[in-house]
Structure 1
């Protein structure tokens, strides 16, 4: 079954010139979605300024790094893609700076969800590296929570009904007025990411190009 999109796209903005990717909890810039997107931009949109920083475990430190990374970026042509916890940060960035945003299975209430994960964890892409989620990080997440978005039409939500970590219905309810690209099945990591890359790129005002070529090259 194809993904369902609603409501219609907002009035067109200029194509994105700057793009920030924010990874999820225990993830890194080595995320396959980040690498797929970076590879596509390098081939088809090399003019787009790309940033994908390694976010610290501390939400306050992560937010400070995000603000530093996008300092001076133009609001009308800057965009952010956030996955899971990165989607929570991307929501705040969209609210504060008016950036276009693509949220992939975003964490709606990470303070609630991650309170169960206080302690030490292996990093997804390097099990030898350890991440320690401290109790005070829960309060840092609460401090970063964002209310209603001032420009909901600038947000595209990609929510998988097969997400085994977060509830896609909670995601849809969190973003009224935004575009909802609901993916039947799939999973939290959106392992069929390539199938949804055209919707992501369209939201950013970027042509899809030859996705098959990028996939084969990857």
Structure 2
């Protein structure tokens, strides 16, 4: 069944202005105008982010929706896919963000606007743990693109977490997936996006 609703979830300190989100948005607009695209600015609180995602996709048809998530957004994407049983693509996904972000408690600046600041609170770590999900019931509905050259996350840990999914391991690469322009066709093919209203 083709996808008619697509959600993109950015990573920690990132935004809908990320290179990958912008590239995805442009391709969806140009080639799949009938697809409902949503890439929200996620709040720092994981619980608030989860509520936003839940509310924004509440009326989406589970069988015809999909989610793409990068880094922390990949963690949220797996949580949502587990709840809705939808197709998911995770890009260098965070596996244990409560552990990894413990060192980032305090004031942070937004990646795409350093003048914008937010406070990452200690209790957000518990909120992250509450969103921990097992691999989705049908891992074949997940594509995980993982760079062995990721400088922030351990590719072995990511690969183990998504062992049942379709895995694309990049020999080099980086956390930002600078090679995403070369990977986007694979992502779009996996998502099976509707081409028109009748698809």
Cross-structure match for 2:12: 25
Q: TM-score, normalised by structure 2?
A: 0.95
| Contact 1:16-1:78 at 8 Å conserved across structures | yes
1:116 partnered with 2:78: no
Specify which of 183, 196, 207 is matched with residue 183 of structure 2.
196
Cross-structure match for 2:63: 76
Number of equivalenced pairs: 195
Cross-structure match for 2:120: 133
| Structure 2 residue matching 1:90: 3-state secondary structure | helix
Cross-structure match for 1:184: 171
1:97 partnered with 2:75: no
Specify which of 38, 45, 59 is matched with residue 58 of structure 1.
45
Deviation at 1:176, TM superposition (A): 2.3
| Contact 1:201-1:207 at 8 Å conserved across structures | no
| Structure 1 residue matching 2:152: 3-state secondary structure | coil
> Per the alignment, do residues 41 and 148 of structure 1 end up closer, same or farther by CA in structure 2, a change over 3 Å counting?
closer
Measured against aligned partners, the alpha-carbon deviations of 1:33-88 in whole angstroms (never above 9, x if no partner) come to: 00000000111110110000000000000000000111111111100000000000
Specify which of 136, 141, 153 is matched with residue 166 of structure 1.
153
Moved over 3 A (4+): none
Cross-structure match for 1:148: 135
The unaligned stretches of length 5 or more in structure 1 are: 1-13, 209-218
Deviation at 1:93, TM superposition (A): 0.5
The unaligned stretches of length 5 or more in structure 2 are: none
